[in-house]
Amino acid sequence: MTWDWSLDGPVLLLGCVCAIALAIPGTLLVVRRMGMMSEAIAHAALPGVIVAALLTQTVDLGVLLLGALVVGVLTTAAIQALRQATQLDAGTAIGVVFTSLFAFGLLLLSHVHNVRLDPHMILFGNLNLAPFGATTGVPLVGQVPVPTATLSVLAVVNLALFGLCRKELLVTSFDPLQARMQGVPANLVSHAMLVTATVTTVAAFEAVGAILVVSMTTVPAMTAARLCTRMTSTVLTACAIGCLGVVLGHVAAITVPPVLGPLLAGEAGRAIVDTSTTGATAVVYALLFVLAVLFSPRDGLLVDAWRRRRLATA
Amino acid sequence: MSLDHNTQVVLLGVVLLGAAAGLAGSLLQLRGRSLLADPLGHATLPGIALAFLWQIARGGEGRDLPTLLLGALVASLAAAGAMLLLGRVRRLDDDGRLAVILTFFYGGGVALMAMAQQVPAGRLSGIQAFLTGSAAQMVSDDVVLIAVLGGVSVGLLAAFWKEFVVLCFDATFARATGMPTGRLDFALLLATSLVIVAGLRAVGLILIMALLIVPPAAARFWTRSPGSMSLVSALFGAVAAVIGAYTSTLAPRLPTGPLIVLASSALFIVSLLFGVERGLVVARVRRRNARGATT
């Protein structure tokens, strides 16, 4: 497939604003070791979307997002409550809650007929189609696809929130006890952060699907954390890596399959022209992370080996 | 009640699956790695897609079940291997490892599936049933397959039971006494992957993790010893499977997989409240009695 800015441009733009909006709560979740929370929220959104659609008999985006948001907030609350009330470890608490909700969503989905919902779109998302739906008018800019506009607003809001509450977020993430002694409402900050993460996850989930939401939230932030030491630089690097991954992923989705297809499927593989940008971007994120593990100047495996060798010879 | 042959086949299949998943999941949970069932399950997707494309390359239609399941198993084991390999990287917690593995394998799976859809000779429609399962269409061959894969998994866990329990409770001690902890960890993940592959037909790759996570979590409220927890967990898995599979026959178009998971969720809620060892109600009564005794 050839490159066409009128088709590829909107995809890249949506991918990048989505990556930026998610990288900010993502970094905060990752430093608190709660990256899999985004997996839980993304899966739990399914019953939320369907219940909202059934109750209102519409597939209006705002209504669906509201449904997903309510269930998302309930999910995070249920997970926190389970962890506090029982001795279950975090992973088990997360797993029990979101698999149950997801199963409920699938059960509902099998009985939804009068509302047009595509389960495949919900599970996988389709970055290649998302920016070509409804548009909304934005002053000075003109017509903008709805998901692009929503996620741009969220990206700006998240950046502003992070800028304003940087100190509080930092101290509650790394030393909750110290935070309480300084009079920072640690619980309130944590809950506010989880709500922000949930809102962003739900909005992005509609545009890019469950998998890429989880990837975009956690992996660029983890990659950035291997390169940077300070919180602000980690957040900004995570945004940059998020965008880089979208661009590389989209290019790979167009260029790699024609080569890979015949290798995997022989003669019949010549029919393969491209693949999903969503899947390719997720793979690119994982590969960028591996590169950071190997070559990070901070404590990459290569630098480590070199330092050890110098110590040995000294 | 009398059940027709089809229902009996489905029931037998899901009961075996539920029990095997409950057992493997209990050790996974004691090792603190419940959530690992998520990437290991999702990782079967690229394996299925590659096995499909491989069959196409050899002139097939891509629907040979053993080949597809072998692909799924290999991919799931590759994810397990990657998980253990990433364990050696410093400053990388379990949560992060799970996210990266999930991203790589599931993202790769989605990309490969999108490619597989473009192959004209292939018939991909049946393969997409692996995502959410199709228990109602199970035939006796599928039950044999579940019995074999689940049996190997249970056999593996039983053979090294003592070692696994030591590993779960004190990995440092296990290493210090010369146990091959790396190989034991991989064996535990192998047992898990076998259950996951066994469950692809019945409940699908997204819901199978629920059977590995929820029944063991419910079992912990009833007992403190690892042996009885595993047995209770296997029992809960089997009971949830029966309830779910039976409920799905009560009305048309009720999917079996989600109902089995929801039955296990119901068992979890009952256990959370009324479990005799750690249940919330029992704990409250105990606290009250203790307070009464001291005053």
Say which residue the tokens 């998998």 belong to: A211
Report the interhelical angle of B181-199 vs B204-219 (nearest 10°).
120
Average pLDDT, chain B: 90
Inform me whether the C-beta atom of residue A259 falls under 8 Å from chain B C-beta atoms.
no
How far is the C-alpha of B140 from the C-alpha of B7, rounded, in Å? 11
Minimum-distance CB partner of A36 among B35, B213, B253: B35
A contacts of B112 (beta carbons < 8 Å): 275, 279
Inform me whether the C-beta atom of residue B131 falls under 8 Å from chain A C-beta atoms.
yes
Say if residue B199's pLDDT is above 60: yes
**For B106-125, how does the pLDDT look when each residue is reduced to its tens digit (9 = 90+)?**
999 999 998 988 888 666 76
Distance from CA of B3 to the nearest CA of A (A): 23
Per-residue pLDDT at A124? 66
Question: Hey, is A235 helix, strand or coil?
Answer: helix
Distance from CA of B264 to the nearest CA of A (A): 8
How far is the C-alpha of B282 from the C-alpha of B31, rounded, in Å? 26
Say which residue the tokens 């922000």 belong to: A196
Q: Do A92 and B29 touch (CB under 8 A)?
A: yes
Per-residue pLDDT at B138? 82
Say if residue A112's pLDDT is above 90: no
In this predicted model, which residue has the larger pLDDT, A182 or A285? A285
How far is the C-alpha of B221 from the C-alpha of A94, rounded, in Å? 17
Distance from CA of A269 to the nearest CA of B (A): 6
What is the helix, strand, coil percentage profile of chain A, to 5?
Answer: 80, 5, 20
Can you read off the two tokens belonging to residue A113? 């007929």
Interface ipTM: 0.91
Label residue B221 by pLDDT band (50, 70, 90). very high
Average pLDDT, chain A: 87
The β-bridge partners of A136 are A144
Which amino acid is it at B159? A
Label residue B156 by pLDDT band (50, 70, 90). very high
Say which residue the tokens 């899966």 belong to: A43
Q: Which residue of B213, B271, B272 to mutate against A (max A Cβ within 10 Å)?
A: B213
Residue range B127-139: mean pLDDT, rounded: 78
Provide CB contacts within 8 A for B252, sequence distance 6+. none
**Whole-prediction pTM:** 0.91
Residue range A6-18: mean pLDDT, rounded: 91
How far is the C-alpha of B74 from the C-alpha of A111, rounded, in Å? 35
**For A261-302, how does the pLDDT look when each residue is reduced to its tens digit (9 = 90+)?**
888 888 888 888 889 899 999 999 999 999 999 998 888 888
In this predicted model, which residue has the larger pLDDT, B164 or B291? B164
A contacts of B92 (beta carbons < 8 Å): 222, 293
Give chain B's radius of gyration (CA, Å).
20
Say if residue A14's pLDDT is above 90: yes
DSSP-derived secondary structure for A124-192: H--TTTGGGS-EEEETTTEEEEHHHHHHHHHHHHHHHHHHHTHHHHHHHHH-HHHHHHTT--HHHHHHH
A-chain residue closest to B209, CA distance: A99
How far is the C-alpha of B210 from the C-alpha of A100, rounded, in Å? 7
Say which residue the tokens 């954390």 belong to: A225
Could you tell me if B213 and A82 are in contact, meaning their C-beta atoms sit under 8 angstroms apart?
no
Task: State which H helix or E strand residue A246 sits in.
Answer: helix A231-265
Say if residue A188's pLDDT is above 70: yes
**For A193-228, how does the pLDDT look when each residue is reduced to its tens digit (9 = 90+)?**
888 888 898 888 877 888 889 999 999 999 999 999
Hey, how many other C-beta atoms are within 10 angstroms of the C-beta on B249? 17
The values of phi and psi at residue A138, to 5°, are: -120, 130
Label residue B76 by pLDDT band (50, 70, 90). very high
Per-residue pLDDT at B283? 85
Range in A124-138, B12-26, B259-273 the model is least confident about: A124-138
Residue range A10-30: mean pLDDT, rounded: 93
Q: Which residue of B27, B35, B248 to mutate against A (max A Cβ within 10 Å)?
A: B35
C-alpha closest to that of A12 among A148, A136, A106: A148
Hey, how many other C-beta atoms are within 10 angstroms of the C-beta on B150? 25
Distance from CA of A120 to the nearest CA of B (A): 10
CB pairs under 8 A between A and B: 211
Say if residue A85's pLDDT is above 70: yes
Inform me whether the C-beta atom of residue B13 falls under 8 Å from chain A C-beta atoms.
no
How far is the C-alpha of B4 from the C-alpha of B2, rounded, in Å? 7
Range in A127-141, A181-195, B72-86 the model is least confident about: A127-141
Say if residue A37's pLDDT is above 60: yes
A contacts of B34 (beta carbons < 8 Å): 89, 91-92, 95
